[in-house]
Structure 1
Amino acid sequence: MEAVVISTSGAQAVADAREAICAGKNVIILSKGFTVAEEIELKRKASSAKTILLGPGCGTSLLYGKGFGVWNSVKKGPIGLICTHGSGLRELSCLVDDVGVSHALGVGPRDMSQAVGATGTLSALKFLEKDENTDVIVVAGPAPSTSISRKIMDSIKNLRKPAVMCFLGATQLKSKKAPLAKTLEEAADFALSIHRGEEPRLGTYTLESEHEIVIEQERAKLGYGQRYVRGLYSGWMLCTEAQIVLQDLIGTVRSNVPLKPRLRLPDPRSSRGHACIDIGALESPTQQPAVNLDGQRMRILKEARDWEIGTLVLDVVLGHGAHPDPSQVISEAVSEAKRIVEKNMGYLSVIASIAGTKGDPQDLTSQRRKLERAGVVIARSNASAARMAAAIVQRKSKI
C-alpha cells in the first residue's frame, strides 16, 4: 500500500494527511508540530479508513521494508514492533535483528496519552495481526493510565498472535496473554524466546562474565570521591530505561525527564548526583540528537568538569538518516573529557551502547573500534550499559 510522508506542520499538512487517508493511503508524519486535537482527528479517520497513521513525531519506522526518519538496516523477520518513541523502536529493532523485523511502527510520543487514547497503537495491533509476515508482536511506550492500559490489554487479549508489552515505569499491570517486560532489553528477549517456542523467563539480569573483568579494571582507576553515574541519551525511552535500571541498583536518579516529579533536575543543563539526561528534550524541535551531536558533545565536556563523576553512559545511534560518523565525534569528545578528568587526578569511565546493525551505512565494526580506541567500553544494550555503570560506582560487580 502506498504511503504518504509529511514532514511539515500547519493547516496544509493536516489537509494533506486528511486527503491521503481519504484516498486509502498510509500516512507517516515525521514532524511534531500537530496539535493534540489534530492528532486525535487524523488517527480516528485513519482507524475508520483501516489505514495506518504513524506519528506525529514519528522518529523511526519500517513499513513494508521501507524506512522512515532515522532507521536501521535490520533483517526482515517475524517480529512486529509498535513503539511511541524512535529511540525505543531503534533499540528494539537492533536487539531482535538476529531474527528480524516485519514492521516497526512508530505511533508517536503522545499516542498512549489519555487524550489520544492509544488510537494509533490499537490500529497498529490490528495491522500486525493481519500481516502474514508477523508472528510475534511487541508493544512499547510510557506507562499509560489505567483506562488506556485496559484498552491496549483488551486488544492484545483478542489477538491470535503472541505479544509482549513494555510500558516503562509500569509495575502493576498483569496479563495472561502477554508478559510485561520491565525494560526494552527484556521485551526483546521475551519476543525472541516466544519466537523460538520457549516460555519467556521473568528474572534478574546479571553482568556477563567478560564484563566483570572490565568493570574491575575500570573501578580500580577511579579516584577518591568519584561516585556518580551520568547518562546522556538521544531520546526519552533510552533515558527512561536507564533510570529504571539504575534506581534499583544505586538509588535516587535525577533527570530532565524524571520517573517522578520530585526527581526533576532544577536546572536540566546542570547535573546533580546520579543523573540521566535526555539530550533530545534540551534541543530545538527541529534538531534531532541522532543527527546533530553538538548537544551531546558539549554535555560530555561539561560533565567531565564535575570532579564527582565516576562513570559516563552514552548511546550511539547508527542508521539511515543518522549522523554519518557519530563515533568520530563522540570519541573526540570522550578523549578530551578524559584529559579534563585526569588533570584533576581522576579517571573517567565511559560506557556506551550502539543502536546499529551490520547493514547500517556507518559500518558497525568501524564505529565500535573508534569508540574502543578512545577508551569507551561497549555494552550489548542500553540497559546493560546502565548495569555496568552502576557496578563500577557501587564498587561491586555482582549486579
Structure 2
Amino acid sequence: MSQRLLQANQRSVAAAAHIVDRIRLLQDRAVLLARLGRVAEAERTLADAERQMPPGAPRQLKLRFAYVRAIDTYFSKRFGDARREMYAALSQARLSNDQRLIAECESALALFMQREGDVRAALTHARSVLGNGDATHEARYRASLALASLHQDAHDHEAAYRLYRAAHDVVKDLDDEIAMASWMHRAAVAKAAHARQLAAIGAPDKRTVKDAIALLRQCIDYAAQIPDGPATCLDHLLLAEMHILQKQYKQALELYDLHLPQCEGDGFLHEVTVAMADRANCLLQLGQVDAGYAQAVASLRRLDETAPAEIRAIVHENMAAALDSVQQASQAQQHRTMAQAAWDTHCHEQREARRVLNENTTTTLH
C-alpha cells in the first residue's frame, strides 16, 4: 500500500475536529491496512476506533464497523467467512437505508462473488452500485472492475477490454496507487486469458501473447515502484504461462521456480494448481521426464470439487502428457477424456455467463 495514502490518512485523523469524523477515518485506515496485508494492525486500528465511539454515535457509523471487519476477513483469506460477514453488513445497511454503506458493501460483494464464479450475484451487486447515486468513487471503481472481470471470465474479451478502459478513468480519479496496480493486474490478466483461450481452441495468436507479456511486465514494474506495493507472484505465473505459449520453456521454468513457492504460501490455491500443471509441461518439454511426471501427479492431487472446469481441463491434459512420457497410453487416454469433459463444461459455463451478462445491459460506468 502506498505509504502516501497511509500518511495522508494519519494527518486527517490528527486534524479531525469531531470524534465521529476521526472514527470514520480510522475505519478507512483499517481498510487501507487490510489491503496492504497488515491485517493484525488493521484489527487493532478498528478496535481503537470502537473504544472511542461516543454514546449516541450515528447508527450508520456503528454499522460500518461490520463492513470494515468483513474486508479485514477477506484479506485474511477467509473468503467464505468474509462473504457471510459482508452479506450480514449489507442487510443491516439496507435496514437503515444507508445508501453509501449499501454501495460499499455491494461493491465488495461484486468482487467477492466474481471470485467465486457466481455470475448472477456479482452482476446484480455491480449494477446496483453503478446505479446508486450515493456510491463513492471507490465503490464505483470496485463495481466496474467486477463487471469487467465478469466479461473476462465469460471470454467476452472485447467487452472486458472496453469496460477496463472505462474503469481506468475512474481509477485515475482515485489517486490511489494500489487501486491503479489492481486495475493494471486485471487488465493484464484479461489479455493473458484471451491468449490462453485462443491457444486452447487451436488458434494461437502471437500478437495477443506479446501484448499480454508487455502488460504483465508493465504491471510488475509499476508494483515494484510502490513502497510496500502489492505482491506480483500471480503476474509472474501468468508471464510464465505466456512464455509456454511461445514455447520458451526454460524461461517459463525459471519463473515458476522463483515464484510458485510464494504463491502457494500466500494461499492462491487454484492458481498454484494450474501453474504446477504447466510447470510439469515445461519439465517434460525439456526432457526432464521423472520430474515432470512427479509434478503432474502433484498437481492432479490438488484438484477438488471447487476447482474451476478450465483448471481441471489443463491439469488432466498435462497429466495425460506425463503418462504418455512413461508409456502409460491407456491411463493417458482416460485423462484426455476427463480433460475434454472439463473443457465442455467450461464452454457451457462461458455460454451461460455471456447469456446472463447480456440480459438488461443498460448499466453504465457514469
TM-score by length of 1: 0.27
Q: Which protein shows a greater Rg?
A: 2
Higher relative contact order (CA 8 A, sep 6+): 1
TM-score by length of 2: 0.29
Name the one with the larger strand percent: 1
